[in-house]
Amino acid sequence: MSDVVQALSEAFEGNSLLVGQDVSSRKAGFWRKDYIQAMAIVRARSTEDVSTALRICNAHDQVVIAHGGLTGLAGSAITSPDDVVVSLELMNKIEEINTTDRTMVVQSGVVLQSIQEAADNENLLFPLDLGARGSCTIGGNISTNAGGNRVIRYGMTRNLVLGLEAVLADGTVVSSMNKMMKNNAGYDLKHMFIGSEGSLGIVTRAVLKLQEQPRSQETMFVAVESFPKVLEFLKTIEAGLGGTMSAFEVMWQNFYRLVTTAPAKNLPPLAQDYPYYVLVEAMGGDASGDHERVELALAECFEKGLIADAVIAQSQQQTDDLWAMRDDVGQSRGLGVTFTFDVSMPISKMESYLQTVDKRLSEHYENYQCITFGHLGDGNLHLVVSPGDKGCAEDQERVELCVYEPLGDIGGSVSAEHGVGLEKKAFLELSRNENELNLMRTLKQALDPKNLLNPGKIFDV
């Protein structure tokens, strides 16, 4: 047993410390086939536990990786056999809900769906929502600054967190559990930890900002005949919905066909031969008035020739079916070897960007497919690229160059919402300039001088 594991075993009893087979029998991630490799996993039950673990690891110059729900898609929670993992899975308590202040205090291992349900029980809304809601943790959401389906209305995770508590590499606890919307008393330290992928500190608790529960939810699905019309539809429907629009999700024809054709379980709500489809959600405060507003807004879009066909969900089941179709990204696993991307750009550049990617892919692959969908209202596209019959893992770098390089010229980002981790590290310079990268390194050096927290992820120091 190494010195550091010996020291940890003296501080943590029973199943609070896992070693050997108890570590290697755990899956490494949501869609991963491999298992965790690490010297030990500390299952922290409190902030003090996290602080103790980090203090011990710091004294032994030991690398530490934080684990939440392991649903991350950027390879930022990957470990090596020499690492120690601090898992937040047992820090899963909702400590307080204040319906007047509209705040919720949570430990960082609480699963997102539990937070949504707890808010719902109090007639409040925690608007963060993503396909991994049943497995991802709020600590992971904070550490990746997760986006998801309702960013266009409520913002990213960064906008939904009022305060947080984090433990630094040397075990120092920085408790910044602010509960106010306004607090300009010096630097807003929480933002250092939000989106830093566990490289600056381990988040242990957070204060979340809740919203009043909307009284109506309207979901509509429309077909559109050209990309310029998609953009004009976005402007017209947003204006028509009078501030109630909460999602604007676009599916290109290839994604729509994939998720509405067997073996997919969803049936196509509209014919499959339009080039673009949009799922629009509105959440408002006046059930009957909001329905009428949706009908009027859609009628205006029809009159202007912006949409070719449309359905409005008439029941919760129909709403769920429309969202199930959007969430059924797993169908792409049937395409064989694929590479997935999460990129963003000004929406005015989106059409020409996709044409460039298509051109570049076609120069290398005869039968490639580029399945496209995403949170278009946020400028965020997800691409699933299949190089075709002869595709293999070695194609990854070539496909990445086809997708990432054109982003540099248009001010786009190689990571819209999933983070950088190991997956996008090599391409970070396309989206961040030298001075930005240097300042990131300065911050890392100041908070984690020994480079022990999730080292080698995002960038090398």
Residues near ligand FAD (CB under 6 A) are 30, 65-73, 76-77, 88, 108, 130-132, 136-137, 139-141, 143-144, 146-148, 197-198, 202-203, 417-418, 454
Q: Which CB, 141 or 176, lies closer to ligand FAD?
A: 141
CB of 120 to ligand FAD, least distance (A): 20
User: Which residues, including other chains, have CB under 8 Å from residue 350's CB and lie 6 or more apart?
Assistant: 227, 376, 379, 381
CB of 455 to ligand FAD, least distance (A): 11
Q: Which CB, 128 or 223, lies closer to ligand FAD?
A: 128
CB of 203 to ligand FAD, least distance (A): 4
| Among 7, 43, 3, CA closest to 23 | 43
CB of 419 to ligand FAD, least distance (A): 6
Q: What is the CA radius of gyration of the chain?
A: 23
CB of 125 to ligand FAD, least distance (A): 17
CB of 131 to ligand FAD, least distance (A): 3
Classify 26 as helix, strand or coil: coil
Inter-CA distances, 288 with 231, 282, 415, Å? 28, 13, 40
Query: How many CB atoms within 10 Å of residue 2?
Result: 13
Q: Which CB, 144 or 176, lies closer to ligand FAD?
A: 144
Q: Which CB, 132 or 414, lies closer to ligand FAD?
A: 132
CB of 245 to ligand FAD, least distance (A): 17
Q: Which CB, 146 or 403, lies closer to ligand FAD?
A: 146
Q: Which CB, 17 or 247, lies closer to ligand FAD?
A: 247
CB of 308 to ligand FAD, least distance (A): 27
Q: Which CB, 139 or 387, lies closer to ligand FAD?
A: 139
Contact criterion met (CB below 8 Å) for 38 and 85: yes
For the chain, helix (H) and strand (E) counts, in that order, are 14, 18
CB of 151 to ligand FAD, least distance (A): 9
| Among 355, 380, 372, 333, CA closest to 253 | 372
Q: Which CB, 341 or 365, lies closer to ligand FAD?
A: 341
Contact criterion met (CB below 8 Å) for 452 and 63: yes
- Counting other chains too, the contacts that 293-301 makes at CB distance below 8 Å and 24 or more residues apart are 293/240, 293/241, 293/242, 293/244, 294/218, 294/220, 294/241, 296/240, 297/236, 297/237, 297/240, 297/241, 298/220, 298/222, 298/237, 298/240, 300/236, 300/240, 301/222, 301/233, 301/236, 301/237, 301/240
Q: Which residue is nearest to ligand FAD (CB)?
A: 140
Going by DSSP bridges, is the β-strand pair 84-87/309-312 parallel, antiparallel, or unpaired? Answer: unpaired
Contact criterion met (CB below 8 Å) for 234 and 247: no
CB of 90 to ligand FAD, least distance (A): 12
DSSP per position, 79-114: --TT-EEEE-TT---EEEEETTTTEEEEETT-BHHH
| Among 324, 307, 308, 327, CA closest to 316 | 324
Q: Which CB, 140 or 379, lies closer to ligand FAD?
A: 140
Q: Which CB, 30 or 459, lies closer to ligand FAD?
A: 30
